[in-house]
Structure 1
């Protein structure tokens, strides 16, 4: 069974995962990175602090967030 990680886990404890960031990320690393985990969950970290804490989300949580982002529900936080 895959190890279960809690939110705030040091990202460097997530060994063997493939972190990736959006192509929209700037050259100064102002982006978040995501990685699928063996448990089926998704980890997210700040690309500027790759060993810092990672947040872990279920697939349902990430799907709900992405659907809201695609619909523009969070556009106001950038204003």
Structure 2
């Protein structure tokens, strides 16, 4: 595997298993995540599967998920009435 860096093309990551939330938009507007062999987590835009990825450590992703679960980002979500 190539050295990991933020913004690298997803195609350089090889045959990893991308997955998205069951809550994703049916038109494909979502992000996808993949576990990397070194323990990191890659994130990409599902509309651009060969485009750039962001690489996060497990600790970074854990901090984000805990923030989401506690409502810290609720003001950034679309308001559905």
Q: TM-score scaled by structure 2?
A: 0.90
Task: After superposition, give the CA deviation of every residue in 1:11-60 in whole Å (9 maximum; x if it has no partner).
Answer: 11111210000000121101100000001000000001000100000000
> Residue 21 of structure 1 aligns with which residue?
20
1:59 is matched with which residue? 58
Alignment of 1:1-79 (within 5 A): 3-78=2-77
The runs of 5 or more residues in structure 2 that have no matched partner are: none
- Corresponding residue SS for 1:35: strand
RMSD, aligned CA: 1.3
Q: Alignment length, in residue pairs?
A: 78
Task: Report the Cα distance in structure 1 between the residues aligned to 2:70 and 2:31, rounded to whole angstroms.
Answer: 20
Runs of 4+ in 1 over 2 A off after TM superposition: none
- The gaps in structure 1 that reach 5 residues or longer are none
